[in-house]
Chains A and B, each alone.
Chain A
């Protein structure tokens, strides 16, 4: 079945270091991917997205990389700050234009001062 997974449940990094959060997806028909950030007690917040016709997309301090060959998605956060501590989810749109998303379980990012 369809699934979107993250490789590590928890990632701990030092403040100022770069963080890389990984995600594997299984549906080769997915052509749209999103990264969300969820802070404790809040709803998921959109960070960045990427379409399958791109390999890389950059935002402010964040970069998303897409490797369609191995169905892998990653989120890179430059100069990680304490405010980046949160759970990060990847999501894919799956097959068909349903408007629904398939979400991964999430990776908890802990930033050590």
Chain B
């Protein structure tokens, strides 16, 4: 089974703090994604990565950055957290080839609250 893990289930930070959200997958997947999920807005793509050291902006990259130094790990960084970044953050990964190329497997999510 594919396993995607996220470093924290719940996180509380203060405005202006730098926040790191870590995601690790154990299936040697090439593609990794960061989403945020808010009531009424569904899943919105923040950033994604096709390979190590590669990143692409998603639909809402403002206020976020990412890092992919190793294939299995994709980090989301909030340089200076703001209250409007309070949300559920979801990481996902997918392989590049085969029948299930586009199936994204999700982690359990990190519920971030910025005070």
Contacts and interface: CB of A to CB of B under 8 A. Distances in A.
B96 A46 contact: no
B106 A43 contact: yes
B101 A43 contact: no
Q: What interface size band does chain A fall in?
A: 20 to 34
Contact of A101 (B102, B108, B109): B102
B58 to A, nearest CB: 8
Contact of B96 (A89, A99, A105, A106): A99
A43 B109 contact: yes
Nearest to B58: A100
Interface in B70-115: 90, 94, 96, 99-109, 111
Contact of B43 (A32, A49, A89, A97): A89
Contacts of B50: 99
Contact of B105 (A32, A46, A89, A91): A46
Nearest to B44: A103
Interface string A90-113: 010100010111011110000000
B34 interface: no
A45 interface: yes
B99 to A, nearest CB: 8
Given A42-B108, A99-B48, 4 more contacts: A41-B111, A89-B43, A100-B33, A100-B48
Interface of A: 32, 34, 36, 41-46, 49, 51, 89, 91, 93, 97, 99-101, 103-106
